[in-house]
């Protein structure tokens, strides 16, 4: 796909949206993928469902931090400048806040409030990851084969200590053979 031409207001909106998402990225940026999808696919129409899903899948399959999918989404929206704007937007607030809170929390790690906050974030993170999984399976939800592959993957990950790399490889093989 060729990058779209953005107005100055679009650039500002793209930057501000990823700036805001940075503060919601509890458990990692992947937890905000449903909102990224809503913004760049549903609201703005800059990417299709398939392009969005491919952007996330490509970045997740590549070595490196899982945050790379933000750059791929930005790249697919507006080329190198889009990648830079989305990455800068998603990195600045969360990085600054994480540094400050980590230093503050390390000094108070045994306090009741810090322990309660840490325990309370686990279900929120899980919910965000489940929402992300739901959005990413949207293009293939009509396929029984894809649904079966997702169910098997969830079962294997839940019940075994098998590396997720094997399930990603199995999914890639099933997709390459056209069995979905």
Measured in whole angstroms, how far is the alpha carbon of residue 58 from the centre of its chain? 12
Length of the chain: 180
Residue whose C-alpha is closest to residue 77's, from 147, 156, 164, 17: 17
In the block, tokens 């045994």 appear at 110
How is residue 146 written in tokens? 């894809």
How is residue 41 written in tokens? 């696919």
Q: What percent of the chain has pLDDT over 90?
A: 47
pTM of the model: 0.62
Q: Using CA atoms of 149, 150, 151, 154 in order, give the dihedral in degrees to the nearest 10.
A: 120
Give the single-character DSSP code of 178. Answer: T
> pLDDT tens digits, the chain, 180 residues: what are they?
556 789 999 999 999 999 999 988 877 888 899 999 999 999 999 999 999 999 998 888 888 888 899 999 999 999 999 999 999 999 999 889 889 988 998 899 899 998 898 889 889 888 888 888 888 778 777 888 778 888 888 899 889 988 888 888 888 888 788 776
Q: Where are the domains of the chain?
A: 8-121
Torsion 145-148-154-159 (CA) sign: negative
Angstrom distances, CA of residue 61 to CA of 55, 89, 171? 10, 23, 11
């Amino acid at each position: 796909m060729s990058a779209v031409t953005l107005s100055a207001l679009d650039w500002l909106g793209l930057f501000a949206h990823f700036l805001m998402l940075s503060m919601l990225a509890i458990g990692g940026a992947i937890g905000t993928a449903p909102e990224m999808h809503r913004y760049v696919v549903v609201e703005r129409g800059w990417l299709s469902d398939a392009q969005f899903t491919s952007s996330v899948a490509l970045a997740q399959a590549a070595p490196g931090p899982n945050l790379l999918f933000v750059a791929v989404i930005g790249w697919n929206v507006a080329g190198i400048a889009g990648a830079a704007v989305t990455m800068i937007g998603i990195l600045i607030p969360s990085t600054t806040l994480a540094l400050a809170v980590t230093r503050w929390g390390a000094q108070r790690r045994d306090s009741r409030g810090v322990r309660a906050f840490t325990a309370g974030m686990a279900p929120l993170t899980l919910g965000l990851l489940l929402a992300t999984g739901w959005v990413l399976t949207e293009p293939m939800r009509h396929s029984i084969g894809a649904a079966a592959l997702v169910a098997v993957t969830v079962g294997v990950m839940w019940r075994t200590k098998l590396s997720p790399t094997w399930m990603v490889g199995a999914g890639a093989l099933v997709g390459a053979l056209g069995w979905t």
